[in-house]
Amino acid sequence: MELKHVNYGYPGSEKLIKDFTATVPNGKILSIIGQNGAGKSTLLKLLMGSVSPDTGTVELDGQLIETLSKRQRAAKIALVTQQHQVYDEMTVKEVVKTGRLPFHSLLATISDDEVRPFLRVVDLADAMNRPLSSLSGGQQQRVWLAAALAQEPQYLFLDEPTTYLDIRYQNELMALIRKLNAEQQLTVVMILHDINQALKVSDQIWLVKSGQLVKAGTADEILNEQLLSNAFELPVKIVNIEKYGPYVIQLTAS
């Protein structure tokens, strides 16, 4: 999957994405980081084919992504968002069954046995008959992850998946994503607002500012105080913490 000289914006306004060229590494974890308004969510929409570039191309397995139908894209790409629309008292298994819709015409034709394996992966098979609303925030996010896995995608996209989660559930979710990447060779693309989280879990990072790619590289290549300070428009300091490693601190005036 790659973007080649992609430009995108609304008519009559400044481009949100500007001459963006980058390749998503197959079978790896890629995190996109940058300020609010840097263009991260727009990049995800372009990669998914939800919007089309004004100029340039987005290719998926050598095909222009806009030439693929929604069903074809859903068979290759699954998305976990920050917010979800759920009907009252929708059960866990009903949520996960929505991930099987690319393979079925009706939700009613999907059996419980078909979705149980995906709930096992996220350790929630015992909760399949419970209302989604009865679960904790961290558990609910794992249910949506199971629904994405039920699509059996090549690419798993996550838009700030740790938003609204406390530190424990953030760490559990990141550990699960790393496990899925390792065991299923899933290509993972995440938008993360936490620089340190991105540095810890990612094989590659795209640092984005004002719709442009500032740097694509490994955590070691991104770990540069001047680079990060310029991209986030605030001073940062990199410190080494025993048994953790490099950690980025955002400095504020006293």
* pLDDT confidence of residue 88: 63
* pLDDT confidence of residue 254: 53
**241: pLDDT strictly greater than 70:** yes
Longest dimension (CA), the chain: 61
Q: What is the mean pLDDT of residues 199-222?
A: 97
Q: Report whether 163 contacts 193 (CB < 8 A).
A: yes
Residue 103's CB: how many other CB atoms inside 10 A? 15
| Tens digits of residue pLDDT in 164-175 | 888 998 999 999
Q: Report whether 61 contacts 1 (CB < 8 A).
A: yes
**107: pLDDT strictly greater than 90:** no
Tokens, residue 93: 């298994």
| Tens digits of residue pLDDT in 126-156 | 999 999 999 988 899 999 999 999 999 999 9
Residue 79's pLDDT band (boundaries 50, 70, 90)?
A: very high
187-191/17-23 β-pairing:
unpaired
* CA-to-CA separations, 4 to 37, 59, 84, 93, 252, in angstroms, rounded: 21, 8, 31, 39, 37
* pTM attached to this predicted model: 0.92
Mean pLDDT, the chain, rounded, equals 92
* pLDDT confidence of residue 25: 97
**101: pLDDT strictly greater than 90:** no
Percentage of residues in the chain with pLDDT exceeding 90?
A: 78
SS3 annotation, the chain: CEEEEEEECCCCCCCCEEEEEEECCCCCEEEEEECCCCCHHHHHHHHHCCCCCCEEEEEECCEEHHHCCHHHHHCCEEEECCCCCCCCCCEHHHHHHHHHHHHCCCHHHCCHHHHHHHHHHCCCHHHCCCEHHHCCHHHHHHHHHHHHHCCCCCEEEEECCCCCCCHHHHHHHHHHHHHHHHHHCCEEEEECCCHHHHHHHCCEEEEEECCEEEEEECHHHHCCHHHHHHHHCCCEEEEEECCCEEEEEECCCC
Crossing angle for the helix pair 137-149 and 112-121, nearest 10 degrees? Answer: 120
| Tens digits of residue pLDDT in 14-52 | 899 999 999 999 999 999 999 999 999 999 999 999 999
Rounded to the nearest angstrom, the gap between the alpha carbon of residue 11 and the centroid of all alpha carbons in its chain is 27
Residue 203 CA to residue 6 CA, distance in Å, equals: 23
Residue 89's pLDDT band (boundaries 50, 70, 90)?
A: confident
Q: What is the mean pLDDT of residues 229-243?
A: 94
Residue 253's pLDDT band (boundaries 50, 70, 90)?
A: low
**86: pLDDT strictly greater than 80:** no
* pLDDT confidence of residue 164: 82
Q: What is the mean pLDDT of residues 69-86?
A: 86
